[in-house]
Amino acid sequence: MNNELMFFMLSAVILVFSVLTVTTRKILRAAVYLLFVLVATAGLYFQLNYNFLAAVQLTVYAGGIVVLIIFSILLTSHISERAPIASAARAALAALVTVAGAILTLITVMQFTFRPAGIPPISPNVKNVGRALVSYGTDGYALPFEAISILLLAAMIGAIVVARKESNNQSTK
């Protein structure tokens, strides 16, 4: 019962702050609201006994990424700047589509009878997670692990291409 109550509280936090993240007009506030969403998600992982995942969620997402986002906001934009107000028609349409989509998804999810997974769950402790991450057989994740490193490298280079100042060209001529 306690567990259930906790679940509803965490879900409420996630829902409320997710909506606030995308509706607030100040970008720094959006980043902070996102922090709450990520922390509450870590709470859900703790509930499922995914301690490792929850720790990663807290340190990488809530700790690292939100700080990065806040840094880049402070470096690039004026905090006092507010996002323009969307026109009423547009906001109404967006709300309509979102609510309709949510209701449709909810109904179909409720209708489906989920079966428990056939395979016995592997204990999600650090040892098993680490082993799965670098093993290459069945249930190993070495390939995605390596492929993601290519993605990250490319993303970094892409960020450099976008962020590089044009004036550098002239100075090195």
CA distance 132 to 148: 15
139 contact partners, CB below 8 Å, separation of at least 6: 122, 132
CA distance 94 to 87: 11
Site residues for other proteins, 89-148, by CB under 8 A, read 104-105, 108-109, 111-112, 114-115, 117-119, 136-144, 147-148
Q: Does 9 bind other proteins (CB under 8 A)?
A: no
Nearer to other proteins, 104 or 126 (CB): 104
Q: Min. distance of Cβ 1 from other proteins in angstroms?
A: 25
CA distance 143 to 114: 30
Rg (CA), the chain: 21
Q: What are phi and psi of 113, to 5 degrees?
A: -95, 110
Q: Min. distance of Cβ 133 from other proteins in angstroms?
A: 12
Q: Min. distance of Cβ 170 from other proteins in angstroms?
A: 9
Q: Min. distance of Cβ 165 from other proteins in angstroms?
A: 9
How far from 93 is each of 47, 88, 107, 125, CA to CA, in Å? 36, 8, 21, 45
Nearest CA to 26 out of 70, 88, 92, 89 is that of 70
Q: Min. distance of Cβ 60 from other proteins in angstroms?
A: 17
Nearer to other proteins, 2 or 111 (CB): 111
Site residues for other proteins, 23-82, by CB under 8 A, read none
Binding site for other proteins (CB under 8 A): 104-105, 108-109, 111-112, 114-115, 117-119, 136-144, 147-148, 150-151, 153-155, 157-162, 164, 166, 168-169, 172-173
